[in-house]
Chains A and B, each alone.
Chain A
Amino acid sequence: MYTATELIPSVCDIISRLLPSTEVPLTEATSLPRLQGFDSLFIANLLESLETLLEIEIEPALLLPEAFETPQSVAELFVRSQNQANSK
């Protein structure tokens, strides 16, 4: 079990690897849609990387724009999925 706060560094690491940038380091509140390179392929790669790392598959119904606003919201998406999986 992990919390969103614990997940944020991993989320930021993966984003930095997928969209290498020398801009100000990513924080939990960085706006992802404003990053250059934020496109369908980036979203798919980010999801796949996190799903592999955390060994969890996100329900499609949760994959909405608001879940990809910031590293914080991405982490919360995975925590929500983890909690749903555990409650089943």
Chain B
Amino acid sequence: MWIHERVFERAWQQPERTAILLHQEQWTYRDLATKAETLARSFLRLFEPGTRVALHMTKSPQTVALMLACLRAGMTYIPIDPRCPVERRDLMLEDCQAKILVLDKFTCPNWCAQPSAISSLALVISPQKIPLAAVTQLSFEELLATDTPGTEGDPYPTIMANTLAYLLYTSGSTGIPKGVQITHGNARAFVDWAYEQFDLSIQDRVAVHAPLHFDLPVFDIYVGLAKGATLYLVDEQTALFPEAMYRFLFTQSITVLYAVPSALTALLKRSSLRHQNLPALRYLLYAGEEFHPVALRTLLSKMLKARVFNLYGPVETNVVTYLEIQPEYLDLPRIPLGHPTSTTNLLLVGEHLQIVEEGEGEIVISGPGVTPGYLNQPEQTEATRCMLLVGGSEQICYRTGDFARRDSDGLLHFLGRRDSLIKTRGFRVEIGDVEAALLKLTGVDEGAVFALPHTIYTHLLYGFVAVRARKNASEAFLLQELRERLPSYMCPQRLFLRQELPKTSTGKLARRELQDELKSLLLENKEEVSKIVHSN
């Protein structure tokens, strides 16, 4: 069964139970399924299956209904970060060639203030008209009203394993965001595993904490709803403030929470969880970055009956390993990744792609969960691929770039990465993406970005720029300009201005020299450096 079919099947088994809550807004399973199917039929009356639908929206029941509608209609949804800077937002929309754009009250004003002529757009669904010529514009209600009686028998298209379900954009090393294509077959591989692995029930209250342009909510929404649980959408303000989040979790008696370690550590340090606990929580799942064992131990002491799982996997595959945290793992310097999920073929390979049975190697994945690649970026896709003999047949495998060690019990332990992709606050950032944005700033000739390990946020970014051509350049000017191009988590904490950047004897950027200089600069500020992990 496809992931949306699980949800619709559940909806008609328990139509009167609450499916989604956001503040005072409450949708039953009937509300959700009816709206999603009406939207799907409306879309299909206007466009062909395969159409791409950009959802530039905050978390809401409508957004979830639209996601389900797209899947039902054989269309592909693309969740866009509601706070994404305009330039980056437009890059994504042009790249994915979305024909339908859906806005809400939060994102609509951005489009009114800074309209963009996206070449592919044919329909905008928005609470108010935006200044875009030659594009049909409807409100959400008007779109629902197009589903006139007598058309309810409209057949939905047949979904195949390779039908594109959704696109998730992630940082790209060349400065262009990469659209990771996730097919129905990919999504089903993860949801099928998670559905069997976690015994959620209709009694569960699942917090949808991560933003919808992340892959974490795929679990919350499709597994949570397929199990008949109630989804509690966490609004952006609540997610931003640990105390507000704690109160939300406590008062709503949340039983299932899936979040990144940075958010959970903040909860531990900056909320009443310091003195209290979360007695209702049954499952705490984390992914996206490593969890420091000391912080995790403290957190476990607050979860009276929760089972805690470390889930690992890039967006290109979703979760590929899992580990239920046991006390003995907390004494290790790093929490292990665990064992492969039932729908994953996981191999470790050496430098020449030889398979490593025991010992260290790069994590390589094959199986139904692996993305067909990045949209419009065949070279980037190719760079992450290799052919390996798996189970007697040659298979296309995805190279994660993550290195791990397999111990004698078969347990995988994370070692590090082979390239310049880093994590900060659970977000994935290509250093090259940030450097490319630096070079677009007015008057900047050269740029270099460094990620320093950090105990809470995994990494923090710092940059150097050469600004020979720009007189009166200041850090404030440049950072402000940068924040208009990149999401805040991709912007360096500090930007150090130089006349020029040091070079090696071969004329390359002297990165080691700059990194040493950065450490000296930060050491001058003891507060700033106190949580930075000093490494070579």
> Which A residues form the contact surface with B (CB < 8 A)?
16, 19-23, 33, 36-44, 47-49, 52, 60-65, 68
Contacts and interface: CB of A to CB of B under 8 A. Distances in A.
B64 interface: no
23 contacts: A19-B479, A20-B479, A20-B480, A21-B480, A22-B476, A36-B85, A36-B480, A38-B488, A39-B488, A40-B240, A40-B425, A41-B488, A41-B493, A42-B488, A44-B266, A44-B270, A44-B456, A60-B273, A61-B243, A63-B241, A63-B270, A65-B237, A68-B241
A23 B477 CA distance: 9
B33 to A, nearest CB: 33
Contacts of B192: none
A65 B244 contact: yes
A52 B484 CA distance: 30
A64 B243 contact: yes
B477 A39 contact: no
B457 A41 contact: yes
Interface string B260-274: 001100100011111
Contacts of B491: 37
Where chain B touches its partner, the secondary structure class is helix
Interface in B414-465: 425, 456-457, 460
A23 B480 contact: yes
A40 B262 contact: yes
Given A40-B262, A40-B266, A43-B240, A60 B271 contact: yes
Nearest to B526: A52
Contacts of A16: 476
A20 B241 CA distance: 22
Nearest to A39: B488
Contacts of A20: 474-476, 479-480
Where chain A touches its partner, the secondary structure class is helix
Nearest to B480: A21
A42 B460 CA distance: 12
B307 interface: no
B488 A22 contact: no
Contact of B488 (A33, A36, A44): A36
B228 interface: no
A21 B244 contact: no
Contacts of B475: 20
Contacts of A52: 527
B47 interface: no
Given A20-B475, A20-B480, A40-B425, A63 B243 contact: yes
Interface in B454-502: 456-457, 460, 474-477, 479-480, 483-484, 488-489, 491, 493
| A16, A36, A37, A47 interface centre (most CB from chain B within 10 Å) | A36
A65 B274 CA distance: 19
Of listed A23, A48, A60, A62, residue having the most chain B CB within 10 A: A60
A68 B243 CA distance: 13
B242 interface: yes
B476 A37 contact: no
Nearest to A62: B243
Contacts of A63: 241-243, 270-271
B488 A61 contact: no
Q: Which 3 residue pairs spanning A and B have beta carbons closest together?
A: A20-B476, A36-B483, A63-B243
A63 B266 CA distance: 12
Contacts of B263: 40
A20 B256 CA distance: 38
A47 B534 CA distance: 23
Nearest to B243: A63
A71 B476 CA distance: 19
A37 B527 CA distance: 20
A47 B240 CA distance: 14
Contacts of A61: 243, 272
A42 to B, nearest CB: 8
Contacts of A37: 483, 488, 491
A39 B262 CA distance: 13
A22 B480 contact: yes
Given A40-B425, A61-B272, A63-B270, A22 B241 contact: no
Nearest to B275: A60
A16 B475 CA distance: 11
Contacts of B241: 43, 63-65, 68
